[in-house]
Amino acid sequence: MKWLGRIFTTILTIPMIISFILLLIIVLLLAQVNDTALSPGFYNHQMRKADMYNFVYDELLPVALDEAEEEMDDSSNFTMDISAIKGDI
């Protein structure tokens, strides 16, 4: 009868150990996500780290203005003088 109790205990112990390890991993992942992605300063820090602000101002904005100017040349419904804006870039 003792061997039946030991087998039963062993059968229950292994799944409990596995479930506790999985639970620990899930809790650690959620804590990491909470500290990074849900923090308001996280995105500002990542943008500064990637130098995104200078990229937008130096590279993306001039290309967007060039494309907008080309689109305005094609359609006569809306006209805007972009040359005044381009001097500031």
pLDDT in tens, 45-82: 989 999 998 998 888 888 888 887 777 766 656 666 66
Q: Give the span between the Cα atoms of 1 and 57, in whole angstroms.
A: 78
Is it the case that residue 8 has pLDDT exceeding 80?
no
| Of 63, 83, 64, 80, nearest in space to 72 by CA | 80
The runs of H, that is alpha helices, within 36-82 are 40-49, 52-55, 61-74
Residues 6+ apart with CB under 8 A from 86: 62, 65
Quickly state the pLDDT bin for 86 (edges 50, 70, 90).
low
Highest mean pLDDT among 21-25, 73-77, 81-85: 21-25
Yes or no: say if 47 and 40 are a contact pair by the CB < 8 Å rule.
no
